[in-house]
Amino acid sequence: MRILHCADLHIGSSLESGLLPDRTALRRREINDSVSRIAAMARRHRIDACLIAGDLFDTDYVTPETWKRCLAAMASATPVRFLILPGNHDGRFLHAREQRAASGDPADRLPSNVKILTGGHSVRMGSTRVFAAETADDIRYIKADIRLFNIVMMHGTVSGQMFTFADGTMVPFSALKNRNLDYGALGHVHAAGAAQVDARLTLCWPGCLEARGYDEPGKKGFIVVNTENGSRRFVRAALRECAAVPCTLDREDTEGDILNKIHQSLQDIPEENLVYLHLDGTVKEEEFSPAGLQKMLLQEYFGVRIDTSGLTVLGRGQQMSTARVSPSDGDEDATRIWNPQEEAKLAAEADDWTREERPLARKMPEQASDESAGEQIALREIYRELVRDAQLAPQTADEVLKAGFAALDGEELPL
Query: Can you give the binding site for Mn ion, defined by CB under 5 A?
Result: 55, 87-88, 188
Q: 189 with 157: CB under 8 angstroms?
A: yes
3-state secondary structure (DSSP) of residue 137: helix
Smallest distance from the beta carbon of 189 to Mn ion, in angstroms?
A: 8
Smallest distance from the beta carbon of 194 to Mn ion, in angstroms?
A: 18
Smallest distance from the beta carbon of 165 to Mn ion, in angstroms?
A: 10
Query: Using CA atoms, how far apart are residues 409 and 388, in angstroms rounded to an integer?
Result: 20
Query: Using CA atoms, how far apart are residues 399 and 197, in angstroms rounded to an integer?
Result: 45
What is the distance of C-alpha 105 from the center of its chain?
34
Smallest distance from the beta carbon of 89 to Mn ion, in angstroms?
A: 5
Q: Which is nearer to Mn ion, 88 or 294 (CB)?
A: 88
Q: Which is nearer to Mn ion, 18 or 187 (CB)?
A: 187
Strands 128-132 and 122-125: antiparallel
Smallest distance from the beta carbon of 209 to Mn ion, in angstroms?
A: 13
Q: Which is nearer to Mn ion, 87 or 184 (CB)?
A: 87
Smallest distance from the beta carbon of 211 to Mn ion, in angstroms?
A: 16
Q: Which is nearer to Mn ion, 58 or 272 (CB)?
A: 58
Smallest distance from the beta carbon of 136 to Mn ion, in angstroms?
A: 18
Smallest distance from the beta carbon of 363 to Mn ion, in angstroms?
A: 31
What is the distance of C-alpha 22 from the center of its chain?
21
Who contacts 125 (Cβ-Cβ below 8 Å, separation ≥6)? 1, 48, 49, 81
Q: Which is nearer to Mn ion, 87 or 217 (CB)?
A: 87
Q: Which of 192, 179, 174, 127 is nearest to 152 (CA)?
A: 179
Q: Which of 404, 412, 361, 354 is nearest to 38 (CA)?
A: 354
Q: Which is nearer to Mn ion, 115 or 188 (CB)?
A: 188
Rg of the chain, C-alpha, whole Å: 23
How many helices, marked H, and strands, marked E, lie in the chain?
11, 19
Q: Which is nearer to Mn ion, 188 or 200 (CB)?
A: 188
DSSP string, 40-54: HHHHHTT-SEEEE-S
Residue nearest to Mn ion (CB): 188
Strands 49-52 and 2-6: parallel
Q: Which of 281, 190, 246, 132 is nearest to 6 (CA)?
A: 190
Q: Which is nearer to Mn ion, 10 or 23 (CB)?
A: 10
Q: 134 with 86: CB under 8 angstroms?
A: yes
Cis peptide leading into residue 79 (ω within 30°):
yes
What's the chain's length in residues? 415
Q: Which is nearer to Mn ion, 87 or 207 (CB)?
A: 87
Smallest distance from the beta carbon of 8 to Mn ion, in angstroms?
A: 6
